[in-house]
Structure 1
Amino acid sequence: MNKSIKLYTGIFLTAAIMTQSACKKNFFDTQPDNELNIESIFTNRNQTEQYWGGLFTAVPDVWNQPFGELWSAVTDECDMSNQTATTIDAMNNGAINSTTTTNLTTAQYYPKIRQCGIFLDNIDKNKELLNTASGAYEVARMKSEARFLRAFYYWRIMQIHGPISILPEDTKLPTDNYQIPRATVDQAVDWLLSELDKAATDLPEEIFQSGTTTADPTQTGRINRMIVEALKSRILLYHASPLYNGNKDYAGFKNLDGTVLFNQTYEASRWTKAANAAKSAIDMAERNGKGLYQVSDADPFRAAFLSSRNLYWDGWRKEGIWMRPTSGTRSWESRTAPRSIAGTAFSYMGVTQEFVDGFRMASGLSIEQDPSYKESGFTNAGNEYYVAGTSKMYEGREPRFYAFVTFNGSMIPGAAKAGMTRVEFYNTGNSGKAGAPRDWSKTGYTIRKNIHPTFSMTPAVNVARPAMFIRLAELYLNYAEALNESDPNHPDILKYLNAIRQRGGIPAIAPGTLSQEQMREAIRKERQIELAFENHRYFDVRRWKIADKPGYYQGGTYTGMDVSKGSTLSDVGFHTRTPAVRRAPWNNRFYFLPLLQSEMDRNKQLVQLPGY
């Protein structure tokens, strides 16, 4: 059995690696679905295993930004407009329509949905595989994984485009009738949950190395029941949220037969279901050895900094729930690192000033609340996070600020160029505007999160690690949010919220000090910071239905430092808030993206989203 498992995982890794190098088409997307080919694939064990491995290749890579996962680039988190793609530009300038919208659904998700269906229909025909010693067990597990992946890809479409069209359970020929209307939100969620429950039946909670309680590394990326429960938590949290729960703004969004696609009656009980699902997922993860990753250090501040920084390469075994075995971390690091990195990185993924301001002080207070926050003047002494002469606006911030954001005067996040000891974003600095045509940040900040301390462009140094698509901290926050809405006096709200806060180095919230509304804001702030740049912000602000509200506004003008000025580290001209990025004002049609016109042309039963 172990030999078979390792073979399957190797195939999965190969398929995932192929996805990294082939940006337009996944390997199995090019295979025809004719009967002769299907018969050949599912009578040969090796071909069946390769087909199964290909089902995973559209699982998102969190760090493949902005050309794969584009979501951070179209939020208030960051700006990538010096080097971005057509869809991102269209979303940010308000020109998004059925021609410029993302093609993820057409190019990746629906093809994978079909392939999952083909696999489920045909895997039992493979006698060569079934007749191996562990064949029946492995076939049942692979079928469950295919069922899970099919549901997951449907969920991704729903997150992006709203109510989905669900294909028939049995796969049909390409020439058959696919004129299928959208399912309502509630119908889709019910179907997704039922599919996930079916998938869980033949999946283990976790696979451990023989005779140990250590997760088998050869299983990384394969689906287990922990992953199923975690995805159910995410789906139910969204289903309870205002965008999906009694959204009267979509009262007129109907199928051609008049079916209203969004439930018009708010159901408070959905929050209870979401809380229960999150707690179930947490309990399963923790009894299988998962926990928040934490580094010990005599200095609590440094411990929090290292816990937050090192999580992405040292902590995934402890905290990761669903991991992608291969990840484009080198591309991520090359785009986010400043040009002072050895070999010269691209340095264009800029953090907005508004997002920088969202990080709290070490006291746990906001910069507006803490009297020690100063926006004028420069530090007299440096430390391991920044050098002397750095602006005081970066002094005394919470540990995650120093782990997640690179600012003028901060230490170089990876291997430094010879003779360089700090990052300089002012105009003539080592990573400033004057030094490159496009490889500079428009805001005077870049993302620091998930840059390994040894990263170098030349010589090429990159520490390979899986990408965590779902991790335990998210489940803690899911639970706290759902519980605050369903049972606002429950002690678990603070138990799990404070666990994240304290790991991040800020004080716990005392019981009884916040109202339900204040707690809601505290939880949302924690999601903003803890999950920053991990492709949650785009969907969170939308599901809360507050993208037009102060502090969450998704559009308009974002500020930064004045990157056109400055010739020294402590130049006041650079350290002046100035408009850095201008986007189209928010429009409520942006809550979901339209489907491609080609999809509408193929399926005449589809109705386009309002406003497109």
Structure 2
Amino acid sequence: MKNISKYTALMAAMSISLLTACKKDYLNTTPTNLISNESIFADSALTEAYVVGRYIGVTLTSENTGPSFQRGFDSPFMSSATDESIHTQDAGSNLLQQGIQTPDNESWMGNFWIRGYRSIREVNYALANIDAVPMSTYTKNRLKAELHFIRAYRYHDLLRTYGDVPLVGDKVWGLDDRNFDPLYVRSPVQDVIKYAVSELDLAIQGLKGINLAEGRASMPAAMALKARLLLYSASPLYTGGANDPTKWTAASAAAKAVMDLNSFSLYSNYRNEFLINKTSEDIYERVYSSTGGHSALELTNGPNGYNGWGGNTPLQNFIDAFETKDGKTITDPSSGYNPQDPYTNRDPRLAATVLYNGHPYRGRNVETFVPGGLDSKDGIGAWNTTHSGYYLLKYMDESLNAGDQNNLYKDQTQTQPFKYIRYAEVLLNFAEAQNEAVGPDNSVYSALNQIRARVGMPPVTPGLSQSAMRDKIRNERQVELCFEDHRFYDVRRWKIANVTENVPAYGILPTKNANGTITYTKFIALTNRHFEDKNYWMPIPQSEILASGGKLKQNPGY
């Protein structure tokens, strides 16, 4: 099974025009460094390379090394537009934290529209030409299925970011076309989900027997993405607040279908799950070449005392979501939580995710205390010191060189994959949908308890009400799926962002006393954090509104 990285060099040379060539003779010259459209679909190897390139070909992100789906390891992470983290250098994240994005200034989020529709156009082009390619029926059907998966994923990115979006169908527009009005008609979000699910059904049929493909679509990946989309379809933001049990039942059944494959299980080591690929838990992931750096994670997110740049620094809001080891919230008086010894007796996922004062890392303990802490503002370079008192540990590989500030990719050969879909999410999707459909039955408890048992957390307290179980599931998603691009969309689809995103962005200041003890003081790490109802959807880029001559309608409030 071919790895995406094997096609990178070829795709770099395949700068393909998808429009009709100019007919004037003096311009009708074939460049020697490009592969023509006709050549691509006359050669089965080039056709497969073109299809595989649709996973990585669109690089209209803040960093052209970032994943083509979602944002992944692009800096800043999506987490830094939520209550999970803030970015040390801002890099456009504060604009989103403060809710002041506009159609002509929305930081990196506008890229979802641009790269989404460009990719859909490329997929449509391939589907329009692939039947003429001389190749086996098996290979052709697989490539078609992958194209349907990619198209569904692009609509998944678009709909959960903008809501109602245009459905462009299979048409490929060229220079001879004059009517582009279908590109400007926004379909209701439920119709877009229905279309994306139908695309995934085609992918599932065409990918039967393909259960794990490095960086490429598989049958379980299509099934799991379908389950996610159906979960979104049932959620309050997508139903206008109405509760439709049939939608929750459909989402539950779709997740259960993935579980019933018996092809996946939770990987035993939560910390290492994010450092290696092809674990028992991985359903769909972005893999990277071992011969070239990608996002220099250790350098861009490491503590300043290790010559790191700080990067995406977790917030106290997020830290407070972790229970104590006995399964109690830190606000429970019986939990034993001590705010002056805040990291003792906590859910083990906290220590596997966050670097805090006193956390062992690369041969010493992290020092975010003042005065004098090596990883505080008194350490190396105040410009890259955490603004929250924390640093990221999830995804960080201590076996790799931390990097060289004068050479971004020196010794940076990270191969940490970005996990788009893993089995833990499927279990959480099932638990949420099943709880909303029928209440907290035994299957809901079983799904949650599997996730908790993996890290040594006790089972969920039996006898919870549906509402209490809902809160438990949401908290479990917050800590289990952190920094995986879920939180931004979760709080919106639940219609709770007006609460979670209007809480100040808190940090922690450890102060070292004369006797060597540490006093922890909570403080506001980012001022003016703000969320309005219009922010449930992002604005469509103003450039797209103008290009349509005003036919494409903007989201309300912008």
Displacement of 1:398 in angstroms is 1.4
SS for the counterpart of 1:577 is strand
**CA distance in 1: counterparts of 2:111 and 2:439, whole angstroms:** 38
Partner of 2:139: 138
1:347-377 Cα deviation digits (max 9, x unpaired): 242111121111111111111214421123x
Partners in 1 of 2:514 and 2:365 — Cα distance? Answer: 12
2:204 is the counterpart of 1:200: yes
In the TM superposition, 1:195-594 aligns within 5 A as: 195-206=199-210, 219-247=213-241, 266-284=243-261, 286=262, 288=263, 290-294=264-268, 307-314=269-276, 316-326=278-288, 331-341=296-306, 344-369=307-332, 370-376=334-340, 392-412=341-361, 415-416=362-363, 421-427=364-370, 428-435=372-379, 436-458=381-403, 460=411, 462-512=413-463, 514-549=464-499, 553-562=500-509, 566=512, 570=516, 572=518, 575-594=520-539
Cα separation, partners in 2 of 1:569 and 1:93, compared to 1, 3 Å: farther
5+ residue gaps in structure 1? Answer: 19-26, 208-214, 248-264, 295-306, 377-391
CA deviation profile, 1:260-308 (whole Å, cap 9, x unmatched): xxxxx54221101110111012222x2x3x11111xxxxxxxxxxxx22
> Given that residues 281 and 475 in structure 1 are in contact (C-alpha distance below 8 angstroms), is that contact kept between their aligned partners in structure 2?
yes
**Which residue of structure 1 lines up, in the alignment, with residue 191 of structure 2?**
187
Q: CA deviation at 1:205?
A: 3.8
> What is the distance in 1 between the residues matched to 2:53 and 2:90?
28
1:441 is aligned with what amino acid? T
Q: Which runs of 4+ in 1 moved over 6 A?
A: none
**Conserved? CA contact 2:501–2:529, under 8 Å:** no
Query: In the aligned structure 2, how far is the partner of 1:185 from the partner of 1:445?
Result: 38
How far 1:556 sits from its partner (Å)?
A: 4.8
**Cα distance in structure 2, aligned partners of 1:422 and 1:157:** 42
Structure 2 counterpart of 1:256: none
- Cα 1:123–1:483 shift into 2, 3 Å: same
What secondary structure, in the 3-state scheme, does the structure 2 residue paired with 1:321 have? strand
Report the residue type matching 2:502 in the other structure. G
Structure 1 residue 60 corresponds to structure 2 residue 37: no
Compared with structure 1, are the counterparts of its residues 492 and 570 closer, same or farther at alpha carbon in structure 2 (3 Å cutoff)?
Answer: farther
The letter of the residue matching 1:119 is A
Partner residue in 2 for 1:384 = none
1:608 aligns with 2:554: yes
Q: Which amino acid aligns with 1:494?
A: Y
The reply to whether residue 97 of structure 1 matches residue 99 of structure 2 is no
Work out whether residues 426 and 567 of structure 1, in 8 Å CA contact, stay in contact via their aligned partners in 2: no
Structure 1 residue 557, shift from structure 2 partner? 2.1
Q: Which range moves more in the overlay, 58-67 or 317-326?
A: 58-67
- Residue aligned with 1:469, SS: strand
Q: Which runs of 5+ in 2 are unaligned?
A: 22-35, 59-67, 404-409
Return closer, same or farther for 1:141/1:582 CA change in 2, 3 Å cut-off.
same
1:430-451 per-position Cα deviation (integer Å, ceiling 9, x unaligned) = 1111231321111111111121
- 1:535-585 CA-partner distances (Å, limit 9, x unpaired): 111100100001123xxx11352221237x658895546x21112111332
Query: How far does the alpha carbon of each residue in 1:503-554 deviate from its partner, in whole angstroms, 9 at most, with x for none?
Result: 1221002432x111110000001000000111111100100001123xxx11
Deviation at 1:335, TM superposition (A): 2.5
Q: How many pairs align? A: 516
Q: Would you say the 8 A contact 1:409–1:569 is kept in 2? A: no
Residues 95-136 of structure 1: CA deviation (Å, up to 9, x unaligned): 201101223234411111000000000112223xx2xxxx22
3-state DSSP of counterpart to 2:524: strand
Query: Structure 1 residue 91: deviation in Å?
Result: 1.5
TM-score, normalization by structure 1: 0.79
Q: Is the 8 A contact 1:308 1:400 kept in 2?
A: yes
Give the letter for the 1:48 counterpart. T
TM superposition shift of 1:193: 1.3
Other structure's SS at 2:304 match: coil
SS of the residue 1:580 aligns to: strand
Whether contact under 8 Å (1:528, 1:537) holds in the other structure is yes
Distance in 2 separating the partners of 1:348 and 1:467: 17
- Say if 1:546 and 1:191 are closer, same or farther in 2 by CA, change over 3 A: same
Say if 1:65 and 1:332, in contact at 8 Å, map to a contact too: no
Q: Secondary structure at the match of 1:79?
A: strand
Q: Hey, what's the Cα distance between the residues in 2 that align with 1:39 and 1:66? A: 38
**Aligned in 2, Cα 1:478/1:441: closer, same or farther, shift over 3 Å?**
same
Answer whether contact 2:70 2:485 (CA < 8 A) is retained: no
Question: Hey, what's the Cα distance between the residues in 1 that align with 2:219 and 2:137?
Answer: 19
Deviates more, 1:185-194 or 1:539-548: 185-194
How far did residue 142 of structure 1 move?
0.5
For 1:257, the equivalent position in structure 2 comes to: none
Alpha-carbon separation, structure 1, partners of 2:339 and 2:193: 47
Asked whether the 8 Å contact 1:336–1:347 carries over to 2, the reply is yes
Deviates more, 1:533-542 or 1:307-316: 307-316
Q: TM-score, normalised by structure 2?
A: 0.87
SS in 2 for 1:364: coil
Q: Read off the aligned partner of 1:321 and give its amino acid letter.
A: I
Following superposition, the deviation at residue 46 of structure 1 comes to 4.2
Structure 2 contact 366–375 (Cα < 8 Å) conserved: yes
